Amino acid sequence: MGRALSLSLFVATLALAAAGCGGGSDTSSTVDPTEAWASDFCGAITTWKTDLESTKSQFSDASNLSEGNLRSAASDVQDSTQTLVDTLKGLGKPPTGSGQQVEDSVDQLATTVDDESTKIQDTANGVSNLTELPGAVSTILSSAAAMTSALSQTVQTIQDADVNGELKTAFDNTPDCADLTSS
C-alpha cells in the first residue's frame, strides 16, 4: 500500500510539473504569430500533462504496483516526454524582442525534462523485485521534482524576459494558456 502511494506521488508530481498550461492547440492562420507560438507551447505542456495524469491513474489501485507496471509507466512517461521535447525544440523563438532568451530557456527545459525522463526510465528498468521499489520511487520522485523546478524556472524566465509584454499578451489572448495566465 505504501509503495502504491509513493508511486502515485511520483506521477502526481510529474502532473503538477506539467500543470502550467491548459487547453488544446488551435493555431489557425488568423492567429498572431506570437499567440501561435504561445498556443503551441501551452498545447505541448497540456498534452504532456494529460499523458502523465493517465499514467498516474494506472496506479489508483495498489494491486497494479509491480516491477512490470512501473517499467511500463516509466516507458509511457518517456514516450510522452520525448514528444514534448520534440515539440519544444521545434518551437523556435517567439517573434518578440526577447525571443532568443525565451527559446534558450525552452530548449533548456526540453533538455532537463529529457534527461530526467531518461533517469526515470533507467531507474524503473533497474528494478528487479518489489524490495527495490521504494528506492526506485525515491529516485523517480527526485527526477520529477527536477522537472517541476525546470518548468517553473522556464515560466519565470519567460515572464522576466518579456519586458515589452508581448508574450504576456499572447498568453492572455490564447485560450490554450488560460491555466497559465490564471496562476
Ranges of the chain with pLDDT below 70: 1-29, 31, 59-60, 62, 180-183
Residue 21 lies in a domain: no
Q: The CATH number of the domain where 113 resides is what?
A: 1.20.120
Domain ranges, residue 79: 2-16+29-182
Cell 499572447 found at:
170
Taking only the tens place, the pLDDT of each residue in 157-172 is 999 999 999 999 999 9
Taking only the tens place, the pLDDT of each residue in 92-116 is 999 999 999 999 999 999 999 999 9
Instruction: Count structural domains, the chain.
Output: 1
This prediction has a pTM of: 0.78
Residue 22 lies in a domain: no
Q: CA distances (Å), 22 to each of 77, 82, 132, 160, 165, in order?
A: 19, 19, 36, 21, 21
